[in-house]
């Protein structure tokens, strides 16, 4: 019998989106029972903490009650479950995918912290400037890597970078990232056509 998997989920979280993109790509969406969970840095969620003491989403609960987090682990678990190819097993393809995975996640971590700072009554100017510098450098580097991204197979690296750019559209629309990274924007437009990306576009709610 196939086991049911419960996912602490939100339509707004880019890390949850990574998991959902993988689930769509791997044909596992029907196996996931999504539970809407609110994870806010300033309000630990007691119900969520039963499954993940860090109070973070995504968190996956298996039928025997065992849990898996974070998105890095859940995506690889789903890939194993489906016998997928989102995590190349060896060689240069493996390191390229893992590097882009880490790059995309690090990009997201910076964006989330930047947004938190921006929302404070008195954002710290030095922090705001540091985030802006890192994000601008990240976009410039990814723009240089756009040709390599175009040539590479669709992997967890692609998923992470595409979700980070999707988060820029969701929470940093005014930043205008496409003007700063036009080659990356062309790559993103193509990747965004995939049904897995279309089905997981972030929405407030």
Q: Is 58 in the site for ligand GSH (CB under 6 A)?
A: yes
Single out the segment in contact with ligand GSH by CB under 6 A; choices: 25-33, 64-72, 124-132, 150-158: 64-72
Binding mask 38-57 for ligand GSH (x = CB under 6 A): -xxx-------------xxx
Tell the smallest beta-carbon distance from residue 86 to ligand GSH (Å).
15
# residues near ligand GSH by CB under 6 A:
13
| Among the listed residues 5, 7, 9, 13, the single contact to ligand GSH using CB under 6 A | 13
Tell the smallest beta-carbon distance from residue 162 to ligand GSH (Å).
15
| Among the listed residues 25, 51, 70, 145, the single contact to ligand GSH using CB under 6 A | 70
Q: Is 79 in the site for ligand GSH (CB under 6 A)?
A: no
Q: Is 170 in the site for ligand GSH (CB under 6 A)?
A: no
- Secondary structure (H, E, C), the chain: CCCCEEEEECCCCHHHHHHHHHHHHHCCHHHEEEEECCCECCECCHHHHHHCCCCCCCEEECCCCCEECCHHHHHHHHHHHHCCCCCCCCHHHHHHHHHHHHHHHHHHHHHHHHHHHHHCCCCCHHHHHHHHHHHHHHHHHHHHCHHHHHHCCCCHHHHHHHHHHHHHHHHCHHHCHHHHCHHHHHHHHHHCCCHHHHCCCCCCC
Q: Is 71 in the site for ligand GSH (CB under 6 A)?
A: yes
Q: Is 200 in the site for ligand GSH (CB under 6 A)?
A: no
Tell the smallest beta-carbon distance from residue 41 to ligand GSH (Å).
4
Between CA 202 and CA 26 the distance in angstroms is 20
Q: Is 72 in the site for ligand GSH (CB under 6 A)?
A: yes
Cross-strand pairs, 6: 33, 61
Q: Where on the chain is the footprint of ligand GSH (CB under 6 A)?
A: 13, 15, 39-41, 55-58, 70-72, 105
């Amino acid at each position: 019998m196939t086991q049911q998997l419960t996912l602490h989920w939100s339509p707004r979280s880019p890390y949850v989106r990574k998991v959902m993109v993988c689930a769509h790509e791997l044909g596992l969406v029907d196996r996931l029972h999504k539970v809407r969970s609110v994870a806010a840095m300033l309000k630990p969620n007691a119900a969520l903490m039963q499954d993940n003491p860090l109070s973070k989403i995504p968190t996956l609960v298996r039928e025997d009650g065992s849990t898996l987090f974070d998105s890095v682990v859940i995506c690889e678990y789903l890939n194993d479950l489906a016998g997928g190819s989102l995590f190349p097993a060896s060689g240069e393809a493996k390191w390229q995918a893992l590097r882009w995975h880490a790059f995309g996640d690090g990009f997201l971590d910076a964006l989330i912290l930047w947004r938190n700072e921006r929302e404070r009554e008195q954002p710290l100017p030095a922090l705001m400037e540091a985030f802006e510098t890192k994000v601008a450098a990240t976009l410039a580097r990814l723009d240089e890597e756009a040709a390599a991204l175009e040539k590479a197979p669709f992997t967890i690296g692609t998923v992470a970078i595409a979700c980070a750019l999707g988060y820029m559209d969701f929470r940093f629309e005014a930043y205008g990232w496409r003007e700063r990274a036009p080659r990356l924007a062309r790559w993103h437009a193509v990747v965004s056509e995939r049904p897995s990306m279309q089905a997981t576009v972030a929405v407030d709610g």
